[in-house]
Amino acid sequence: MTSRFRTQLEEALFPPIIALLIALVCGDLLIMSYGQSPATVYRLLLEGTWGNAYGFGQVLYKATTLAFTGLAVSLGIRAGLFNVGAEGQLAAGGFAAAFVGLHLTSAVPWLIAIPLCMMGAAVGGGIVGAVPGYLRVKFGAHEVIVTIMLNFIVLALLNWLIANHIHVEETLHTPEIGAGAIPRLDAFMPAFHGSAANLSMVVAAITALAGWYYLFRSRRGFELRAVGLQPDAAEYGGVSVRGVWFRALTLSGAIAGLGGINYVLGYKHYYEDGLAGGAGFLGIAVALVGRNHPLGVIIAALFFATLSQGGLAIHAFVPKQMVEVLQGVVILAVAMSVPEVRRVLRLGRKPVTA
């Protein structure tokens, strides 16, 4: 491996590693402020997550949603755009999946029902993603603010729909879907009994793989990354920068929307208000820590899911809120170290001679 590529790899990997170390130190401080021993707590955290089947199942379940939102955000970033709207897109997708599922009867075979519901989810999220895409292309409206605002709008809209039109009495969720349920893991592997883990994770893995192929092997992915890296050169290379922007944001929304199937098709079989639960925002962290690469996103999703589930496992010793603090710390640390690492590494590089 030449020294040039090693630097690229270093630029990619150092920040998450640094962030992890900083998070560990902060975790130590928080744990000790509660009068506990870090070693004990960390061991408990690992045991409660990767150490037993139920815990691991929960990790897989949470990681699945995060993988979708992380992939969505990272795709946008690769095109030079910031999709902060994964939260709303996720909810919209989940609702759309439930909506489609509601109108199917159990007579519909799963081979048709599941893909139909999945398409619904993708379309739901895609529509929400297309709005900032259109506004950016047509009016130059910055997608960061539009997506943030749209989150609130979409969530309020969905809340209204549920509360006033499609809910089961005394609850804030839709009726169960007629068809389109995705089987849980514990249907095949009894060890996972009780956990929400379901085969949506396979869809997530396939989406990640597809994402990788799209980004690094397809012509459109080539053009998309070019726009994100150097729009002037992409334009010179005949790429429609605006077209890429619109497609990227729509696709990003669709992937986030697809994430809704984890809860709706795989777990509860209905749409519930609050389904997103912050997974959209965490998706940004996942994309960041995963360095916007599908493989990195999967690993980062597992990491954040472990943290989240681990918080529950250590609840007796330290408030699970510690995990939320660590999440914030990790994001901040990665955000701060990315430019710093790049600066330090490039200082050491030989300057390009004329």
Partner 1 sequence: MNPFDFVTQTLRIAVPYLFAASGGVVAERAGIITLSLEGYMLTGAFSATLGAHYSGNVWIGLLCGMLGGLIFGLIHAVATIRFRADQVVTGIAINLLAIGITRFFLKLAFDSSSNSPRIGGFAVNTSALGFDNPLLWMGLLAAPALAFLIYRTPYGLRVRAVGEHPEAAESVGISVKRVRYIAVALSGVLAALGGVFLALDQHQFTDQMTAGRGFIAVAAVIFGRWDPMRAALACLLFAAAETLQIQLQGNQIMASQFVEMIPYVLTIIALAGVVGRAVPPAALGKTGE
Partner 2 sequence: MTASAETNQSPAILMRGIDKSFGSVRANRAASLEVLRGEIHALVGENGAGKSTLMRILGGLQKPDAGTLEVNGKDVTGWTTSDAIAAGIGVVHQHFMLVPTLTVAENIVLGQEPKKGVRFDYAWAVAEVETLSKETGLVVRADQKVSELSVGEAQRVEILKTLFRGAKILVLDEPTAVLSPPEVRDLWVVLRRLRDAGGTIVLITHRLDEVIEISDVITVMRAGETVTRLETGKTTPAEIAKAMVGRDVALAARQAAGLTDAGDAGDAAQHMGAHTSADAASALSVTDLVVMGSRGTREVDGVTFSIRPGEILGLAGVEGNGQTELIEALAGLRAVESGSIRIGSRDVTYDNVGQRRDAGLSHIPEDRHRRGLILDYSVADNLVLGRQREFASRGMLDGARIAANAQTQIEAFDIRPPSSSLPARSLSGGNQQKVVVAREMGREFTVLLASQPTRGVDVGAIEFIHSRIREARAAGKAILLVSAELNEVLALADRIAVMYRGRFVTVMPAADASEDVLGEYMIGSKKDAA
Strand partners, 173: 272
Q: How far apart are CA 255 and CA 74, in angstroms?
A: 11
Distance of CA 18 to the CA centre of its chain: 22
**Closest separation between CB of residue 11 and partner 2, Å?**
10
219 binds partner 2 (CB under 8 A): yes
Question: In terms of CB distance, is 105 or 353 closer to partner 2?
Answer: 353
Look up tokens 């472990």; give the residue: 306
Partner from partner 1, partner 2, none binding residue 2, C-beta < 5-8 Å depending on class: partner 2
- The answer to whether 139 contacts partner 2 (rule: CB under 8 A) is no
Q: Which of residues 32-91 bind partner 2 (CB under 8 A)?
A: none
Q: Does 229 bind partner 2 (CB under 8 A)?
A: yes
Cα 201 from Cα 114, distance rounded (Å): 14
The contact mask relative to partner 2 for 1-40 (x = CB under 8 A, - = no) is -x-xx--x--------------------------------
For the bound state, the minimum distance from the C-beta of residue 2 to partner 2, rounded and expressed in Å, comes to 6
Distance CA 66, CA 76 (A): 15
Question: Per the structure block, which two tokens stand in for 69?
Answer: 């939102």
37: enclosing H helix or E strand: none
Centroid of chain to Cα 333: 19
Distance CA 45, CA 145 (A): 37
Site string for partner 1, 297-326 (x = CB under 8 A): ----------------------x-xxxxxx
Rule CB under 8 A: say whether 230 interacts with partner 2.
Answer: yes
Closer to partner 2 by Cβ: residue 238 or 348? 238
How near is the Cβ of 158 to partner 2 at its closest, in Å? Answer: 34
Residue 176 touches partner 1, criterion: CB under 8 A: no
Structure tokens, 106: 């159990």
Q: Whole-angstrom Cα distance, residue 78 to residue 297?
A: 13
Assess contact for 297 and 290: CB atoms under 8 A. Answer: yes
Q: 210 by DSSP, 3-state: which?
A: helix
Residue number, 251 or 284, with CB nearest to partner 1: 284
Nearer to partner 2, 237 or 339 (CB): 237
> In angstroms, what is the minimal distance from the CB of 348 to partner 2?
13
Q: How many CB atoms lie within 10 A of CB 169?
A: 4
| Least spacing, CB of residue 147 vs partner 1, in Å | 10
Q: Which residues bind partner 2 (CB under 8 A)?
A: 2, 4-5, 8, 213, 217-220, 222-223, 225-226, 229-230, 232-238, 351-354
